[in-house]
Structure 1
Amino acid sequence: MQKFTQGFYGYVVAVLVCLGGVGLFLLITPQSKTEHIPSVNFSIDVANMRHMAPYQVWSPEPVPAGWIPTSSQATNQKGVVTWRLGFATAKRADAERSHVMLAQSDEKPAAEYANRMANTSEVTGNVQISGVTWQQRFRKDKNQRSLVRLLPGVTIVVTGTGQWDELSALAGSLKERSKLTS
């Protein structure tokens, strides 16, 4: 019996016993098959942005059906006010959920901010969404599509791994919010 508790064979037996225990644990532990994506309420960031931004804030209303807001971050650093709002898109019949982000800022120069958010400076075309012209950009190696709108005082970028129709849905849902004064 002492041969199985010492040396190399003892080590192998101990590892196999541990792996067997882990396998048994995984076999009897219930595994959830439902998708769980944490959701955030971004209404507080909208209100904060309406107070601190020197520009008119744009936010989705309504959020496209089936989309889940997953992140929201409003910042005011060195006088540059930026808001990033991330989403998991609705499940598609032909694919999994994608990720799309709305980013807006008064960072100067505006073109550099747009290039950084889109991960490219190459404009591949223009598209009309709800009567507004957006630049289209595509970075193939990252499978990243972007819609860019340069306005006086604010740059708006809708970007991510979503398809063009998904980015267009978010861009089309954007409504201008009036500035709140204190």
Structure 2
Amino acid sequence: MQVAPGLYKRLTSGLGGFATAIAACLLLVGVIFLITPRSDKELLPTIDYRSQEWALAHNGPYQAWGPKGLPATWRATSARLHGLGEKGRPVAWHLGFVTPSGQYAALEESNEKAKDYVPRMTNSKAALGTKVVDGVTWDTYYRRDKKANSLARTLKDGVSIVVTGTASYDELAVLAASLKPLDKNDTAVVSPAPTQRS
């Protein structure tokens, strides 16, 4: 199809040409947007935290605890180990999961003073009550503005363990129940969990 020279000039130059080019680009972007498959779910990478678990079990200044036997539907998405090898500094381990219900749950453990560590990890200064998980009593916390639930306990050796996140207390209890002392061979130590809190 041949276009008259006057019409061609109007469509390809000046404000008319600019508007035509913009409209063509927007149309192309719209078509690409419509035909590209999308997911409404945010995709978080699954990570392998075993090297951090091994390092903490072998080189940490306290008896490390880690999840053993969590169902495969619990997907680890974040892990951070701080303070290891830094003399005089508390060691802290964070391990985050997406739960089977699609919520977030994290293990936070440290030999930092419990009076500082637990309120910071739970985002709350005072416990609301207690929950017994596999015979072990945990303090319960809730922060309304962040919709965060937490279970926390401090062991006899001063190590604090917090499980926290948007997951329900029942899902947090699954994570809490899976926590076992780690031995130097990166396997669970077969011994009863301490029930005493300081």
State the TM-score bracket (shorter-chain normalisation): 0.7 to 0.9
* More relative contact order, 1 or 2 (CA 8 Å, 6+ apart): 1
The whole-number CA distance in structure 2 between the counterparts of 1:48 and 1:119 is 28
Corresponding residue number in structure 2 for 1:141: 145
Given residue 105 of structure 1, which amino acid in structure 2 is its aligned partner?
Answer: S
Q: How much has 1:13 moved relative to structure 2?
A: 2.6
Corresponding residue number in structure 1 for 2:21: 14
Of all paired residues, the percent bearing the same amino acid is: 38
What is the CA RMSD across the aligned residues, in angstroms?
A: 2.0
CA displacement, residues 69-105 of structure 1 (integer Å, 9 cap, x when unaligned): 01111121552111100000013xxxxx101110000
User: Which residues of 2 match residues 1-182 of structure 1 at below 5 A?
Assistant: 1=7, 2-4=9-11, 5-7=13-15, 9-29=16-36, 31=37, 33=39, 36-76=43-83, 77=86, 78-91=88-101, 97-108=102-113, 110-151=114-155, 152-178=157-183
Unaligned runs of 5+ in 2: 1-6, 186-198
Structure that is richer in strand per residue? 1
1:64, 1:173 within 8 Å by CA — same for their partners in 2? no
Unaligned runs of 5+ in 1: 92-96
Q: How much has 1:58 moved relative to structure 2?
A: 0.8
Q: How much has 1:177 moved relative to structure 2?
A: 1.3
Q: How much has 1:14 moved relative to structure 2?
A: 2.5
Given residue 145 of structure 2, which amino acid in structure 1 is its aligned partner?
Answer: D
Q: How much has 1:32 moved relative to structure 2?
A: 5.2
1:61, 1:173 within 8 Å by CA — same for their partners in 2? yes
TM-score normalised by length of structure 2? 0.79
TM-score normalised by length of structure 1? 0.85
CA displacement, residues 24-58 of structure 1 (integer Å, 9 cap, x when unaligned): 223344x1559654211111111100122211111
Indicate how the Cα distance of structure 1 residues 13 and 34 shifts in structure 2: closer, same or farther if over 3 A, else same: closer
Aligned to 1:123, the other structure's residue is in SS state coil
Q: How many residues align?
A: 172
